[in-house]
Amino acid sequence: MEEFDRVILLPEWANEVIASYESGTAGCFVLHGNVNDRVLIGQKKRQLGSLSDFVMETLLPQFDVILSYDLGFGLRVERGGETFRKWPSLDETPDIPQHPLPAIRMMTHYLQYCRNLKIMGREAPRVAVVVKQAHLVCPAMPNMLNYDLSSMASLLRGWAAEARLQEFDQAAFLISENLHSLHPLVAESSRMCAVEVPLPSQPLIHEVLEWMEARCGVALEAYKGRLDQIAERLVGASIMSVERLLLRRQHDGAPLDQKSLAELKKQLVERDCKGLIDFVEPDRSLDDIVGLEGVKQWLRQDIALWNEGELEALPMGYLFCGPVGTGKTYLAECLAGEAGVPVVTMRNFRDKWVGSTEANLEKIFTLLHALGRCIVFVDEADQALGKRNAGSGDSGVSSRVYSMMAKEMSNTRNRGRIMWVLASSRPDLIEVDLKRPGRVDVKVPLFPSLNAKEGFALIRALCKRRGVEIGDDDYELMKAQVPELLTPGAAETIAVKAYRMKVTNKMSDREALLACLSEYRPPVALETLRFQMRIAADEATDASLIPREVEELLV
């Protein structure tokens, strides 16, 4: 790697590998993250290939012998077969082993043989070994007593522990989808250099688009000379997904256009993340929220700081807390729309298999780092974020989720790129450390309507969106029937029912709403609402966010 030609554009992670090897810092690497994607390979003749092809052809062009192993094909000599056959031990083992432990042992013995040659002053080949899908070859199964697996993990860890790999012109690569699926003896070794392979950046996507333009001219004709605009919109998608998209559009004769790019990106990102997230580019803003003037003013000030690049004054995250139905999710989407950034909502990333939950979180974090500016929305945060001490009922998964989330939320490199928004009706159940400044800097309480006038204004605005017109002068007629502590969720239900009654019973707008109000029953007990309001008020970052009426109500 020290003789690598740097003319071509390399991903950041590849530069990190080269720098670590050439400096003598590391000789054994775990590549994890977006390892199943396609990568541009070659200099004069460019082509898309796998990550393992990139490692062997771009990072290891000067190595004489390259051995690779995966469960499907077993041990293979990728380069230098004639040199490898000179190894005397092959006479004793005529058949190249295909099972994991014998194959890893053979690779280890060959590395040692070549080191011994050099120690004796004899000519020795430069050797690299690559283990593909290492998470399947040496998986994380800490609760199983498996001596073969432990032996293999010990051998792989030994590659990293051999601090003189570079000195003997040797290198080792383990390619794994994520660290948490790899045996802990390997993944947690201090000698192992773990390098995350992120989703492609905008410049790399742009380079791929330029390379594909000759093959997909019809698909890209609307952006000829402006491929950087498509590349910017497709950040967060894998190269494999971009390639499939262009090939299919070319086949269908359907050029990409601005209108379709947003929906296409949503499909690509969600497919690449295998259902772990929902990706939304909001089409609403804070103007769509009825009331909450103080909250909207605060949030708009923060968005202005974000847009102006005043990151030191920008919060790392928000906590929206309040009774159920107060519009916490809707407020998060409006905040994102106001800022002009997408919303990523974590779905059910928990899994029953050992290491799978942590692996899913790794995959989500990889996506977030690639997207650039975005808002991450965590609903029901009191349940989703885990607990510091969750006991042994879930084998420690909840505490590991807590640890990973806490680390990611406090990563200052994410400031100005990733904005965390947590939502909960029981913020008192969220671990205190997750709510501290540096992770959640602003805690915004949301309350139901505090009087009949507020409740009527909310109902009227939501009815208007459905074509049910209610006038200002109807307030006196209806104020006695406006429900106490009305939440936006409950008001939405009333508006939908009023429209339904208007259509089905051929009633006037006023008659339909009056009928709905007369039959209304609160979906949540008022005692529960008051309890959740008190908790939200206690959590508030600033006293200005708590209306005087709330203080009087909760006395």
pLDDT, one tens digit per residue, over 476-513 is 889 889 999 999 999 999 999 999 999 998 889 888 99
State residue 2's pLDDT score.
43
pLDDT band at 142, cuts 50/70/90?
A: low
- Mean pLDDT of the region 161-180: 85
State residue 8's pLDDT score.
56
169: left (phi over 0), alpha (psi -120 to 50) or beta: left
pLDDT, one tens digit per residue, over 443-471 is 999 999 988 999 999 999 999 988 889 88
State residue 3's pLDDT score.
44
pLDDT band at 343, cuts 50/70/90?
A: confident
Give the angle subtended at the CA of 214 by the CAs of 208 and 217, to the nearest 5°: 100
Other CB atoms within a 10 A radius of the CB of residue 259 amount to 8
State residue 225's pLDDT score.
83
CB distance 307 to 358 below 8 Å: no
Query: Strand 343-346 and strand 374-378: pairing?
Result: parallel
**Cα dihedral angle (185, 191, 192, 196), rounded to 10 degrees?**
120
Please name the residue ranges forming H helices in 465-542. 475-478, 488-504, 509-519, 526-539
pLDDT, one tens digit per residue, over 205-246 is 898 898 888 888 888 888 888 888 888 888 888 888 888 888
Query: What is the spatial distance between Cα 109 and Cα 92, in angstroms, rounded to a whole number?
Result: 13
Other CB atoms within a 10 A radius of the CB of residue 14 amount to 20
- The answer, yes or no, to whether residue 256 has pLDDT greater than 50, is yes
State residue 59's pLDDT score.
92
Residue 278 parent element (H or E)? strand 277-280
For the chain, give me the number of helices (H) and strands (E)? 23, 14
pLDDT band at 4, cuts 50/70/90?
A: very low
State residue 354's pLDDT score.
57
pLDDT band at 179, cuts 50/70/90?
A: confident
State residue 132's pLDDT score.
95
Among 132-136, 351-355, 399-403, 549-553, the least confident range: 351-355
Return phi, psi of residue 317, to 5°: -170, 170
Return phi, psi of residue 169, to 5°: 55, 45
Q: Average pLDDT, whole number, for the chain?
A: 86
Relative orientation angle of helices 202-212 and 239-252, to the nearest 10 degrees: 30
Residue 205 exposure: Cα atoms within 13 Å on the Cβ side: 26
Largest pairwise CA distance in the chain: 101
Residues forming a β-bridge with 129? 67, 172
